[in-house]
Structure 1
Amino acid sequence: MTLIRSLLAVVLAASLSGIGAAQEGKLKIATVDMQQLFKEYYRTNEAQKQINIERARIQKDNNDRLTRIRELENSLANLRKQIEDPAISDQKKQALFKDWQMQQQEGIALDRERREFLQRKNQALNETMVQRMKGILNEIRKLVEEQAKGENYDYVFDKSGLSTSQVPFLLYTKDATDITAGLLKDLNKDAPPESLKPVEELKTPDVPPADDK
């Protein structure tokens, strides 16, 4: 969820506080848990499902490429055994060695292509995910602002916000109203039942080190 927290920090940089000008007398203050709204909003689950589908496709393609590379590695090992066999003639060994060189070059090329594929696909997927999550967070923030204006709040604080030292920005507020539950109900009022089920975030396939096949 590191990426999600970073997105929250970026989108919420435009502070939710000070929505209404402070009036004379007692200030009207509310709090909201933006992380809870984001995690439990049905559109977040739907976006995560789509991202997981694409991640699974990338993983399958990567596995297929790895299978071919493993086959070449086995073939290379078999060729090397034959080359080292003293019972095989030198002429035959030369032919086997040429075959070994060709397959080795093919394996190197395939593995390089696989790594480039992973890097390219993962980067594109991450960029897509960032844009989708930003859109969802902006949608949530607008709803918070609308309710704050409608309820005439002077300040709305995000109680899930953390400082760089991972300490909550909001440690204490007196007589503040938590509007999270009402906002979440509004966000999910038109949600299909299956969209409300939590979705596990799948790990993006890593690009291995250059010496690892």
Structure 2
Amino acid sequence: MKRRLLAILTASAACTVAMAAPPRVATVKVDDILRKLDSTAKANEEFKAKREALAKDGRKIALDEVLADLEIRRGKLADNAGLDEETRKKLLREYTVKQQEARSLQEEFQNFTSEKQQALNAELVASIRQRLTLIHGTAEKIAKEEGYDWVFDSSGISNTGVPLMLYAKTPNDLTERVLTALQPPPAPGPAPASPVIKPKQR
């Protein structure tokens, strides 16, 4: 009976100590990891290339050509010297037709770029979310392995622009460990060449 009571008291004391122990807290700078990932640099390069491709689209080239033609016709109309009334009217009609063509091309190009830009933005957001999910999962895995109870994003900003984590007495930062776990290992370098041993000449 005494042994049983002693065991109960010991277990109770252990639980009390465990409950009284402060939680282990760690931090991770998610923004830093996201910015330094190789996959982020690659995604940004692809996004930039796709945006630049929009400016080289055939619709944009056709629009630029029509606008340049309009500018030439505008200059001719502005210079009335040596133009008879019939020629001026003809130039004005041609200018009006070109102006309508330019408006049509401009509207078509704007609709096209708007749709493409929305698709690119959605693709970029999805890519960022995918990397954030990987960061979260990796940070959680490392925290569990090292026995942390809570992990906070120390790069987080509140609605007022103030950092969410204002102070930490002994911050256990896992940023570098999470970044290392997410980055692919460096490619092995070429193996050193074996020295060539020439036979001694007799």
Give the TM-score normalised by structure 1. 0.70
In structure 1, the residue matched to 2:67 is 70
Residue 34 of structure 2 corresponds to residue 38 of structure 1: yes
Residue 61 of structure 2 corresponds to residue 60 of structure 1: no
* C-alpha spacing 1:192/1:56, structure 2 compared with 1 (3 Å): farther
In structure 2, the residue matched to 1:51 is 47
In structure 2, the residue matched to 1:198 is none
How far residue 155 of structure 1 moved from its aligned partner, in angstroms, is 0.7
The alignment of Structure 1 onto Structure 2 pairs a total of residues equal to: 170
Mapped contact 2:66–2:98 kept (Cα < 8 A): no
In structure 2, the residue matched to 1:186 is 181
Residue 102 of structure 2 corresponds to residue 107 of structure 1: yes
SS at match of 2:116: helix
Q: CA RMSD in A?
A: 2.4
* C-alpha spacing 1:173/1:87, structure 2 compared with 1 (3 Å): closer
Q: Deviations over 1:145-182 (max 9, x none)?
A: 11111112111111100111111111112333111111
How far residue 113 of structure 1 moved from its aligned partner, in angstroms, is 1.9
Q: Higher Cα Rg: structure 1 or 2?
A: 2
Residue 185 of structure 2 corresponds to residue 163 of structure 1: no
Percent identity, aligned pairs only? Answer: 28
Return the alpha-carbon distance in structure 1 between the equivalents of residues 119 and 73 of structure 2: 34
One-letter amino acid matched to 2:33: L
User: 1:92-171 counterparts in 2 under 5 A?
Assistant: 92-171=87-166
Which structure dedicates a bigger proportion of its chain to helix? 2
SS at match of 1:131: helix
Mapped contact 1:51–1:129 kept (Cα < 8 A): yes
* C-alpha spacing 1:161/1:44, structure 2 compared with 1 (3 Å): same
How far residue 24 of structure 1 moved from its aligned partner, in angstroms, is 4.3
* C-alpha spacing 1:94/1:63, structure 2 compared with 1 (3 Å): closer
How far residue 23 of structure 1 moved from its aligned partner, in angstroms, is 5.1
SS at match of 2:27: strand
Q: Deviations over 1:61-114 (max 9, x none)?
A: 3763552243232233144246xx364443333333321221111111122222
Q: Choose between structure 1 and 2 for higher RCO, CA contacts under 8 A separated by at least 6 residues.
A: 1
Decide which moves more: 164-173 or 65-74: 65-74
Mapped contact 2:60–2:109 kept (Cα < 8 A): no
Mapped contact 1:76–1:103 kept (Cα < 8 A): no
* C-alpha spacing 1:80/1:158, structure 2 compared with 1 (3 Å): same
Give the TM-score normalised by structure 2. 0.74
* C-alpha spacing 1:64/1:175, structure 2 compared with 1 (3 Å): same
In structure 2, the residue matched to 1:205 is none
Unaligned runs of at least 5 residues, structure 1: 1-21, 194-213
SS at match of 1:176: coil
How far residue 27 of structure 1 moved from its aligned partner, in angstroms, is 1.5
* C-alpha spacing 1:176/1:100, structure 2 compared with 1 (3 Å): closer
